[in-house]
Structure 1
Amino acid sequence: MMLTALGLMSGTSLDGVDVALIETDGKQVKSFGPSGYRPYTNAERSLLRQALTEAVQLSHRDARPGILAEAERAVTLAHAEAVAAFIAQNRITPEEIDIVGFHGQTVLHRPERRLTVQIGDAAALAKVIHIPVMYDFRAADVEAGGQGAPFVPVYHRALVQSVQREGPTVVVNVGGVSNITYIDGTDTLIACDTGPGNALLDDYMFRVMRQPFDADGRFAAQGRANEAWIARALELPFFALPPPKSLDRNDFAALKLGDVAPADGAATLTAFTAAAIARVVPLLPKVPKSWIVAGGGARNLTMLRMLRERVAPATVEAADALGWSPDAIEAQAFGFLAVRGMKGLPLSYPATTGVPIPMTGGVIARP
């Protein structure tokens, strides 16, 4: 039975709330609906950065000391506003939506401590928008010993099955962190984080150029990447670990470029993201024949070029070239996952998060 789900995603890049409608039975995608976006204000982004800093001290997933309570209220309100604007713009009534998939904002991801914290009050959200809300997608996986990420692979598989690609295909999502889904037919589904996505580059652009990101990769295109620095960075133990494996946005924050020209710094960090993605190839069962790039990084033309150079002769294409919406994929995925959760279907697998057995998850808050 097909259901109409509204997915909400606020990623590690702290840019805003993505909204996307999808019609699915949790196995196949019948149709994509419209999508929308509600950016965080500068004040909200600043509040979330403070929350990320304070969350490092958390030892219990439900605790919201100090600034975290304020940040949770801001996240919940931003999501409620995003849904209200989306419904109004697209002339949809709440009754037409069966379920909302609400990821919340990750402020701490420490699976080795069996701890993952996403802030956002689902019960309050459900009451305001008058639609059932599924949330807390990652908790069951982490409690069972899984990495709790990445969670989009089952959706990537549904998308890839709708396009014809010969041989193993990898879907790369370049958000704050980069992750991949390796799909080979209907049987093999492997996923892991590969390293930094846009987080290091965005933080660098903000620090050095007072810009939130490198638009189209134009700034990095003017610089030269330091391949020796990249080679040293790739010697960190994480890169040699087999999948599944996952990261926190700040895991590479200690890497310092030193005194370099700003464009060279941007080029080096962009190339590092591409190199870290390509570094996963020897850890996969077969060499992928095609790569499909989604997320914010799909718009960074310099990053796409650098990835092409490192995975040749495989093809590299942006998700929008296939009619997918690179900006909406993660939001769509959480709509898809909400329907899977309602039906008791697995959200994660041993080869995607390292969980011992396929795990369902999610909790429903009723209006």
Structure 2
Amino acid sequence: MKFYAIGLMSGTSLDGLDICYATFEKHGSSWNFNILKAETIPYPADWENKLKSSFSLSAPELMELNSQYGFYLGEKIKIFISKNKIQKLDVIASHGHTVFHQPSKKFTTQIGDGRAIKLFNNFPVVYDFRSQDVLMGGNGAPLVPIGDSLLFSAYDSCLNLGGFSNISFIKNEKRLAFDICPVNIVLNKIAENFGEKYDNNGNIAKSGIVDQQILEKLDNLKFYIQKAPKSLGLEWVNENVFPLLENLKDENILATFTHHIANQIADIANYYSLKNILITGGGSFNGYLISLLKTKTKAEIIIPESDIINFKEALIFAFMGVLRINNEINILSSATGSSKDHCSGILV
């Protein structure tokens, strides 16, 4: 049976709203997919500012933004459906935008009310994929390993370079997954000081000087010796990373932190003897970072076609929506640390 789904993804790096329309077809225990249409809609300045400052809002203000953002998503999907003349659609699956993520305190918050999305689009909507997992003792992240397992099993490991880097791979017949380190949530913020949205190809980092003392402090942060599953949030970055960088010139921050990212990813690749790594997300276009990574690990680095690079996460959330409407497992406890595999997401 073939399912038609739309997936929405808004990452912590705030580079825009990813919308992916795809088909999914099950053959035995495996699934095939086909991306039909996909688009990234950049946030207008007012929405970028709203989302960037959302963590500092009062509770009533945040609840208001939750509704507003839900209507914003609903409107953008309606335009996307109309523009692409989409008639077949079984489910819309929305990740929402993460404001808070503190699984140790049993909560995570992704704004964008799915009920508001549905008011604009009369199709089943699935949203809030993470909260149930956190309540079950999990990290609520990473969630994409279910897609890595069922859609991208041809690769030894899958690495996403977005606001954070996260990886998934098979070990002892179980799919392990965890966040590795911050990526664009740091790089993009510093690039803004140069009037840029991001460090194009890593060119600014390449021009900077690596501060070896700061690099060593970054590489020795306690998170990196914690056992998986584990996940990161903006709160951790603000508390642990930015204070270490505040006395460096901006180009040297980019140089030092890009080396830090490469070190942390290579450490994981080498420790687990990964043969190949499929790399997706915006960081895939950072040529300097990719070149550093190639020098630090023997694993084959695979950069796929641009649709997979840009829309893999939105694609997998569409897939998670399909699994949800079929009441099939869409979150793996081996990846998140929850008490068991489960089917998550609020369906309206």
Distance in 2, matches of 1:329 and 1:174, equals 11
Q: Could you tell me which residue of structure 2 aligns to residue 179 of structure 1? A: 166
Distance in 2, matches of 1:251 and 1:181, equals 21
State whether residues 263 and 293 of structure 2, in contact with CA within 8 Å, keep that contact through their aligned partners in structure 1. Answer: yes
State whether residues 239 and 279 of structure 1, in contact with CA within 8 Å, keep that contact through their aligned partners in structure 2. Answer: no
State whether residues 22 and 29 of structure 1, in contact with CA within 8 Å, keep that contact through their aligned partners in structure 2. Answer: no
Name the TM-score, length of structure 1 as normaliser. Answer: 0.87
Cα deviation, residue 227, structure 1: 3.3
Q: Residues 87-115 of structure 1, C-alpha deviation per residue, up to 9 Å, x if partnerless?
A: 2332213xx10001011111101100110
Cα deviation, residue 347, structure 1: 1.9
Q: Could you tell me which residue of structure 2 aligns to residue 224 of structure 1? A: 209
Cα deviation, residue 144, structure 1: 0.6
Cα 1:74–1:227 shift into 2, 3 Å: farther
Cα 1:175–1:201 shift into 2, 3 Å: same
Work out whether 1:160 is the aligned partner of 2:152: yes
Cα 1:266–1:30 shift into 2, 3 Å: closer
Structure 1 unaligned blocks of 5 or more: 56-64
What letter is aligned with 1:248? G
Count of equivalent residues: 342
Q: Could you tell me which residue of structure 2 aligns to residue 273 of structure 1? A: 261
Q: Could you tell me which residue of structure 2 aligns to residue 242 of structure 1? A: 227
What letter is aligned with 2:33? K
3-state SS of 2:251 partner = helix
Q: Could you tell me which residue of structure 2 aligns to residue 89 of structure 1? A: 83
Distance in 2, matches of 1:212 and 1:324, equals 21
Work out whether 1:118 is the aligned partner of 2:103: no
Distance in 1, matches of 2:313 and 2:259, equals 24
User: Which of 242, 255, 279 is the matching residue for 1:293?
Assistant: 279
Q: CA RMSD in A?
A: 2.0
3-state SS of 1:15 partner = coil
Distance in 1, matches of 2:195 and 2:210, equals 21
Match runs of 1:109-148 below 5 Å: 109-148=101-140
Match runs of 1:218-367 below 5 Å: 218-254=203-239, 255=241, 256-281=244-269, 286-311=272-297, 313-320=298-305, 325-365=308-348
Cα deviation, residue 25, structure 1: 4.3
Considering fraction of residues, name the structure with more helix. Answer: 2
Q: Residues 51-89 of structure 1, C-alpha deviation per residue, up to 9 Å, x if partnerless?
A: 12337xxxxxxxxx2331342244223312321232233
Q: Could you tell me which residue of structure 2 aligns to residue 59 of structure 1? A: none
Cα deviation, residue 125, structure 1: 0.9
3-state SS of 2:53 partner = helix
Cα deviation, residue 276, structure 1: 2.1
Work out whether 1:5 is the aligned partner of 2:5: yes
State whether residues 40 and 78 of structure 1, in contact with CA within 8 Å, keep that contact through their aligned partners in structure 2. Answer: no
Q: Which moved more, 1:189-198 or 1:266-275?
A: 266-275
Match runs of 1:13-92 below 5 Å: 13-25=13-25, 27-54=30-57, 65-92=59-86
3-state SS of 1:151 partner = coil
Distance in 2, matches of 1:52 and 1:224, equals 33
Cα deviation, residue 184, structure 1: 5.9
Name the TM-score, length of structure 2 as normaliser. Answer: 0.92
Q: Residues 106-129 of structure 1, C-alpha deviation per residue, up to 9 Å, x if partnerless?
A: 110110011011111111211211
Structure 2 unaligned blocks of 5 or more: none
Cα deviation, residue 47, structure 1: 1.1
Distance in 2, matches of 1:202 and 1:15, equals 9
